[in-house]
Amino acid sequence: MEGAVAAIVIVAIVIVVLIILFALLFGGLRTSILFTVHTQENIIVERFGKFQRVATPGLNMKMPFIDTTTRPISLRIQQLEVNIESKTKDNVFVTVPVAVQYVIKEQQVVDAYYRLSNPEAQIRSYVFDTVRSALSGLNLDQAFESKDDIARNVEETLSQRMQEFGFNIVNTLVTDISPDGRVRDSMNSINAAQRDRVAAQSLAEADKIKRVTQAEAEAESKRLQGEGVAAQRKAIAMGIAEQYEMLRKVGIENSAEQLLLMTQYFDTMQDIARNGRSNVLYLPSNPGTVGAMGDEIRNAILQGQAAHEADKNADAAERTAGDLRRRQEAQRKSEQDRRRAEIDARSNAERAQRQTREAAQQAQDQIPPWARPGFNPEG
C-alpha cells in the first residue's frame, strides 16, 4: 500500500515537472524568462525599475515577474536629418539641411539611455543654435564659401556637448545651402551679366588688337613701298649716270644726253605698250614736238640732279649749324659752370671768415676777466 502511494506521488511530481517544462518552453512563461538580443544592440535589464545590468547580443535570462527589459538600443551609426531656415548677414533667408551622424558606444549605453529623455530633439537644438549663430555673421556668398567651416563648427560643438551624454558624433555634413528661388534667379542674372561684360571686353580687346595690327601692317607696307620706290628711282638715276659716263668714255659726248633720253623714251613706250590697258596711244608726229619732249625730259633730269645737290648742301649746312649750336651751348655751359664756381668760392670764403670771427669771439669770451688786458682789480 505504501509502495503504491509512493509511486503515485512520484508520478504526480513528474507530471508537474513536465507541465512546468512545457509552460517554460511553449507558454508565455518562456518569454518572461528568456529573451534574445541581436547583434549591434544592447538591452537594459531593470529590477523593480532599478538598473540591473546590460544584456549583450545572444540568449539572455531574467527573473520572471521581477525583471523587465527596455527597448533595444542600437550601437550602429545613425543619421539625423535637420533642416534649418535662417537669415544671413545681408538679410537673405536660406534653408540649410544638416546631416548629423552619431553612434552610441557599448560602454556608454547606460548614460545614453538614462541621461537624455529625447536625444534627437536635443541634438536638433544644438544644430539649430550653432548654424544660426554662424550664418548671422556671414553674407550669402560667404556662406556658400564657408559651408565646410559651418559643418566643422557644428561637429565640434556637438562633440563637446554630447560626449558626456554617451553620444559620439562621427561626422556632420552641411549638404546644401538653398536660398529662395527669386534670390537664386537674381544671382544667376548677376552672374550672366558679369560674364556678358567680360565677353564684351574680350571681344573689344580682340577687335582693338586686330585694328592696331592691321594699321601697323598698313604703315609698314607703305613704308616699305616708299623705300622701294626711292630705291627704284635711285637705281634708275645711277644707271643713267653710269650709261652717260660710259658714253662719254667711248667718245659720244655731245649727243650722249639725246641718246639716253631717246633710249629711255623708247623703253617707256615699250613698257606702256606691254602693260597698258589701252589699245590706242597718241604720240606727237612732228620732229619738233619730239625734240621739245626730249628737252623737257633732259631738263627734268637736270632739275632732279640740282635738287639732289641742293639737298646735300642743305644737309651739310644743317650739320654745320648744329655743330655751331653745340659749340655755343658748350661755351654757355662752361661759362655758367665758371660763374657757379666763383659764387661757391665766394660763399665758402665768407663762411670761413664768419666761422673764424665766431671762433675768436668764443675764445675771447672764455678768457677770465683778470687775464684780459686793461683789467683793474681795484676798479
Last residue of a domain, one of 179, 197, 213: 179
Q: Which of 111-115, 179-183, 264-268, 331-335 bottoms out in mean pLDDT, i.e. has the lowest?
A: 264-268
**Looking at residue 38, what is its pLDDT?**
92
Domain assignment of residue 184, yes or no: no
Read off the pLDDT of residues 12-54 as tens digits, 9 standing for 90 and up: 888 877 777 665 555 555 557 888 899 999 999 999 889 999 9
Domain assignment of residue 354, yes or no: no
On whether both 41 and 85 belong to a single domain, the answer is no
**Looking at residue 327, what is its pLDDT?**
78
Number of domains in the chain: 3
Q: How far is CA 353 from CA 128, 339, 348, 366, in A?
A: 89, 21, 9, 20
Last residue of a domain, one of 24, 41, 69: 69
Confidence of residue 57 (pLDDT cuts 50, 70, 90): very high
pLDDT above 60 for 104? yes
Q: Which of 34-43, 125-134, 209-218, 300-309 bottoms out in mean pLDDT, i.e. has the lowest?
A: 300-309
On whether both 85 and 172 belong to a single domain, the answer is yes
On whether both 167 and 83 belong to a single domain, the answer is yes
Task: Please give the residue that has the higher pLDDT: either 350 or 256.
Answer: 350
- HSE-CB at 368 with a 13 A cutoff on CA atoms is 3
Confidence of residue 371 (pLDDT cuts 50, 70, 90): very low
Task: Please give the residue that has the higher pLDDT: either 169 or 300.
Answer: 169
Give dist(CA 377, CA 360) in Å, integer.
25
Read off the pLDDT of residues 283-297 as tens digits, 9 standing for 90 and up: 555 545 555 655 655
**Looking at residue 64, what is its pLDDT?**
81
Domain assignment of residue 33, yes or no: yes
On whether both 8 and 64 belong to a single domain, the answer is yes
**Cβ–Cβ < 8 Å for 138, 75:** no
Confidence of residue 55 (pLDDT cuts 50, 70, 90): very high
Domain assignment of residue 99, yes or no: yes
On whether both 64 and 82 belong to a single domain, the answer is no
pLDDT above 70 for 323? yes
**Cβ–Cβ < 8 Å for 160, 149:** no
pLDDT above 80 for 345? no
Name the grid cell of 305.
640732279
pLDDT above 60 for 205? yes
On whether both 64 and 84 belong to a single domain, the answer is no
**Looking at residue 305, what is its pLDDT?**
55
Domain assignment of residue 223, yes or no: no
On whether both 102 and 47 belong to a single domain, the answer is no
Give dist(CA 263, CA 270) in Å, integer.
11
Q: What percent of the chain has pLDDT over 90?
A: 5
| Highest mean pLDDT of the ranges 9-13, 191-195, 363-367 | 9-13
Task: Please give the residue that has the higher pLDDT: either 108 or 185.
Answer: 108
The pTM of the whole model exceeds 0.75: no
Name the grid cell of 144.
556658400
Domain assignment of residue 154, yes or no: yes
On whether both 36 and 106 belong to a single domain, the answer is no
Query: Beta strands 58-61 and 34-37: pairing type?
Result: antiparallel
The per-residue DSSP string of 25-83 comes to HHSHHHHTTEEEE-TTEEEEEEETTEEEEEEPSEEEE--TTTEEE---EE-S-EEEEEE
Q: Which domain does 175 fall in, by range?
A: 77-179
Task: Please give the residue that has the higher pLDDT: either 244 or 98.
Answer: 98
CATH number of the CATH domain containing 148: 3.30.479.30
Read off the pLDDT of residues 270-280 as tens digits, 9 standing for 90 and up: 666 666 666 66
Read off the pLDDT of residues 223-271 as tens digits, 9 standing for 90 and up: 888 788 777 767 776 776 676 677 667 665 555 555 566 666 666 666 6
Last residue of a domain, one of 49, 69, 89: 69
pLDDT above 50 for 73? yes
On whether both 30 and 52 belong to a single domain, the answer is yes
pLDDT above 70 for 90? yes
Domain assignment of residue 35, yes or no: yes
**Looking at residue 237, what is its pLDDT?**
66
Domain assignment of residue 318, yes or no: no
Q: What percent of the chain has pLDDT over 70?
A: 67
On whether both 63 and 81 belong to a single domain, the answer is no
Residues whose CB falls within 8 Å of the CB of residue 108, separated by 6 or more in sequence, listed in order: 166, 167, 168
Neighbours of 174 (CB within 10 A): 22
